Structure 1
Amino acid sequence: MFDLGLIAYFSLAILILLFLRALWVIRNEKDQGRGSLPGQGDHEVRADYFSGGAGGGHSGSFRVPKDPQKYAQQFVPKDRKPKDER
């Protein structure tokens, strides 16, 4: 049988390593910018899915505007938009 104290020490050591790694990642990546700068045009995002086996899965793409105002307007329900924008 395994010694539970040894398992507890290894578990604690793994948790400490994971915690230290998380701190390192936070400190090194906090100055990196996320996202993209606002601008003209769209980003094209591909969404591929494959479930394995014969013929399972699908793929598609969609466009996301770079302009923050156009992006926000996409979330307005159709019944709240002016009639000329529907």
Structure 2
Amino acid sequence: MLRKQPALISVMGLLLLILGLTQFPLAELLLIELIFVVLWSFVVLLVIISNWQRAKQKIQMKRNRAESKRRKQWLMAEKELNQLRHRRQRIYTN
């Protein structure tokens, strides 16, 4: 969306030229241009917010994956430790 900004500015300029040729007063042309700029800024802001949220979600997914992996490793280590304890108990009881 951000890459298309020069094209939009060209379209706005062409539109303003056409409107200017149809004898619109300068104040109305400036108001129309201001409306276009505000709307375009709003669109750019929405795109930036969307990309930021997507990046935030990716970071959260990576954190969740890493934590899940750590939890799995912890459980495996705990399981091995319990097996060693049971073996040691069997050796001492026999």
Same fold by TM-score greater than 0.5: no
Q: Of the two structures, which has the highest relative contact order with CA contacts closer than 8 Å and spacing of 6 or more?
A: 2
Specify the structure having the higher radius of gyration (Cα).
2
Structure with more of its chain in strand, by fraction: 1
| Range of TM-score over shorter length | 0.3 to 0.5
**TM-score relative to the length of structure 2:** 0.32
